Amino acid sequence: MKIRSKILIYYNFIILSSIFILGGIILSSLNNYIIQNTVKRLSDRVLLSQEIYLPEYSAKNVENSFKEQAKTIALNLSKNNLHVRIYDKSGLLKDASSGIVVTYSLDNFKQSPAVDYALSGKNAYIIENDMIYFAVPVKADKQIIGAIEYIEPLNDELKIINYFKKMFIYSSLICLILVLIVGFYISNIITKPIKELDEAAKKFVPGNLNYLKIKSKDEIGSLSNSFNSMEKSINTYVYNIQSEKAKLDLVLSNINEGIAAISKNGEIIFKNPVIDSLGQNILETLINIKDSCFKYGHVVEDLNLKDKIFKIDASIHNDTCIIVIHDITSERQMINKQKNFVSNISHELKTPITAIMGYTELLKSEKEYDKMAVEYLYSESLRLKNLVLELLEVSRLDSYESKLDKRTVNLSQIVKSIVENMCHKASKYNIDIKNSIEEDIIAYLDANKISQSIINLIDNAIKYSNPGGTIQIKLYSENNFNIIEVKDSGIGISEEDKNKIFERFYRCENAKEIGGSGLGLPIVKEIIEKHGGSISVESELNKGSNFIIKLPQKMD
């Protein structure tokens, strides 16, 4: 519905409602005034005629005298063209109209409620069938002995009321016509500039930003001025946006990464030339990545295409999936070279180490030998062997040669068994292991790999704790995670080292005098992350360390 129609309807509704409400109040007041005036007139007539109700009677037979004189009273009171009825407490005594007694069967007679009020001592009236029934009590020595009812038609009064009703209807119709004319004129004046604003706003949609000429000093004029100011601002903003967009397009077109923006319904909002260079099949891949991104919120994965490896990073921004494709072929080749080097050197070292250990054992079995030298040789060979085994483990984890053998297991039982076994080693160094293990925690994981991680952490805790120290092992479930904590009271880790201890071959300054290869914690981190979990550390120098493993409870 248009504003002009709304203004016209509301304006007419308010005016006409006011007219009808005011007219109803006036007519109602007029009606009450006429009725009350009629009642007053009858009441005055009663007061003038009340001396003829009863002559002087003795108090003893006043009620009988009233009954005997009822006819005379009725005739006297009805001489002035009145209709009068005389009642006592038992009912109607006489009925007279214009000086003539009316006779009819009392079987069909119905006493007016006004008479009941009069017999109780009150003046009363009612209006029925365009007739007014006015009743007053008759008293003798403060005793009500009967009632007199005056009946009068309201013909003249009703004519006056009907006349005013007709006048009101005619006046209302005239007012309605005038209100419609004036309302149409006013609404047209008000809505004309608004219509001009509407037409100008419609031209804004295709980009036709034109200055609006509306000469008015009211709110519409103010709105027009604001509209023109907005037009200037929008022109400036559009120019700036187009300029920035041109710069952005230039940058995105010359960037090495592929960038694409895809809406939720699969529409390609933007893609740079790098995306096109990857072939047409890439679009279907991007649509699948977009679906996963809207499902999980963020997607990072690798894509093998045209003998190259691309890293895809997709995230959601304002209901749009932004996908960045980065060529990581050279990086992966370098990493693979490093991994192959570690793997090859580890295999090459394994054979001579085995030979060294064999000959060392042979020397130990002989009677004459330099015991100290042989023991040193043997311990170093063990150390070299452990280093090679750790390198092999890292290599397998990196190259995915070591696949996780996930099964549903009782993690509580696994941790308990590890703690019992490690207690023997800890007791040799006068270190006490305490545990708090929640019962029957069921998990889906590779039991051997997780056991290797926990043993590694406990072994480190023993190695870096002082004699008489305490190690606390905890296992519990919290917020959809199974959490394992290994806390010691050893030498601790500095703030600088905390961010580097999970790097390969890195060793803390305060731990270099203690043996170790610097591969244990990186191996633990790799195993935990392959399970979809995480490992963190809380530590202070000389106050011990607390390693916290979080494994997701969800079985996938």
Q: Which two tokens stand for residue 315?
A: 């995230």
Shared domain for 241 and 314, answered yes or no, is no
Boundary (domain end) residue, out of 399, 417, 443:
399
Q: Assign 208 a pLDDT band (cuts: 50, 70, 90).
A: low
Shared domain for 146 and 24, answered yes or no, is yes
Q: Assign 546 a pLDDT band (cuts: 50, 70, 90).
A: very high
Shared domain for 27 and 71, answered yes or no, is yes
What was the pLDDT predicted at 451? 92
Shared domain for 277 and 147, answered yes or no, is no
Q: Assign 433 a pLDDT band (cuts: 50, 70, 90).
A: very high
Query: What DSSP letter does each residue of 105-154 carry, written as one string?
Result: -GGG----HHHHHHHTT--EEEEETTEEEEEEEEEETTEEEEEEEEEEE-
Residues 6+ apart with CB under 8 A from 398: 335, 339, 526
Rounded to whole angstroms, the Cα distance separating 491 from 488 reads 9
Average pLDDT, the chain: 78
Query: What DSSP letter does each residue of 328-394 carry, written as one string?
Result: -HHHHHHHHHHHHHHHHHHHHHHHHHHHHHHHHHHHHHSSSS-HHHHHHHHHHHHHHHHHHHHHHHH
What is the CATH classification number for the domain harbouring 347? 1.10.287.130
Shared domain for 147 and 38, answered yes or no, is yes
Q: Assign 466 a pLDDT band (cuts: 50, 70, 90).
A: confident
Query: What DSSP letter does each residue of 72-104 carry, written as one string?
Result: HHHHHHTTTT-EEEEEETTEEEEEEETTEE---
Shared domain for 436 and 545, answered yes or no, is yes
Shared domain for 128 and 80, answered yes or no, is yes
* Position 350 in a domain: yes
Q: What is the phi-psi region of residue 279: left when phi exceeds 0, alpha when psi lies from -120 to 50, beta otherwise?
A: left
What was the pLDDT predicted at 58? 47
Boundary (domain end) residue, out of 327, 358, 373:
327
In terms of C-beta density within 10 A (0-12 exposed, 13-18 middle, 19 or more buried), how is residue 355 classed?
A: exposed
Please check the confidence at residue 491 and state whether its pLDDT lies above 50: yes
Please check the confidence at residue 523 and state whether its pLDDT lies above 80: yes
User: pLDDT of 242-251, one tens digit each?
Assistant: 787 777 777 6
Q: Which domain holds residue 265?
A: 255-327
Long-range contacts of 274-279 (CB under 8 A, 24+ apart): 274/325, 275/325, 278/305, 278/306, 278/310, 278/325, 279/305, 279/306
Please report the sign of the dihedral spanned by the C-alpha atoms of residue 191, residue 196, residue 200, residue 202: positive
Q: Which two tokens stand for residue 324?
A: 């960045």
Domain tally, the chain? 5
Amino acid present at 52: I
What average pLDDT score do residues 165-175 get?
81
* Position 511 in a domain: yes
Shared domain for 93 and 151, answered yes or no, is yes
Shared domain for 273 and 337, answered yes or no, is no
- Residue from 519, 506, 500 nearest 394 by CA: 519
Rounded to whole angstroms, the Cα distance separating 386 from 115 reads 124
Percentage of the residues of the chain whose pLDDT score is greater than 90: 11
Amino acid present at 436: S
Percentage of the residues of the chain whose pLDDT score is greater than 70: 73
Amino acid present at 374: V
* Position 169 in a domain: no
User: pLDDT of 34-59, one tens digit each?
Assistant: 777 777 777 766 655 554 445 554 45
* Position 179 in a domain: no
- Ranges 240-254, 255-269, 347-361, most confident: 255-269
Please check the confidence at residue 549 and state whether its pLDDT lies above 80: yes
Shared domain for 261 and 393, answered yes or no, is no
* Position 168 in a domain: no
What was the pLDDT predicted at 211? 56
Please check the confidence at residue 209 and state whether its pLDDT lies above 60: no
Please check the confidence at residue 341 and state whether its pLDDT lies above 60: no
- For residue 424, give the H/E element and its range: helix 411-428
- Residue from 443, 451, 438, 458 nearest 411 by CA: 443
What was the pLDDT predicted at 534? 92
Least confident of 108-112, 256-260, 297-301, 474-478: 108-112
Rounded to whole angstroms, the Cα distance separating 135 from 85 reads 9
Rounded to whole angstroms, the Cα distance separating 411 from 188 reads 82
What was the pLDDT predicted at 418? 92
Boundary (domain end) residue, out of 191, 224, 254:
254
Shared domain for 421 and 548, answered yes or no, is yes
- Residue 208 has, within 13 A of its CA and on its CB side, a CA count of 7
User: pLDDT of 11-21, one tens digit each?
Assistant: 777 877 877 78
* Position 167 in a domain: no
* Position 351 in a domain: yes
Terminal CA-to-CA distance of the chain, rounded, Å? 58
* Position 438 in a domain: yes
Residues 6+ apart with CB under 8 A from 196: 212, 214
Shared domain for 289 and 340, answered yes or no, is no
What is the CATH classification number for the domain harbouring 420? 3.30.565.10
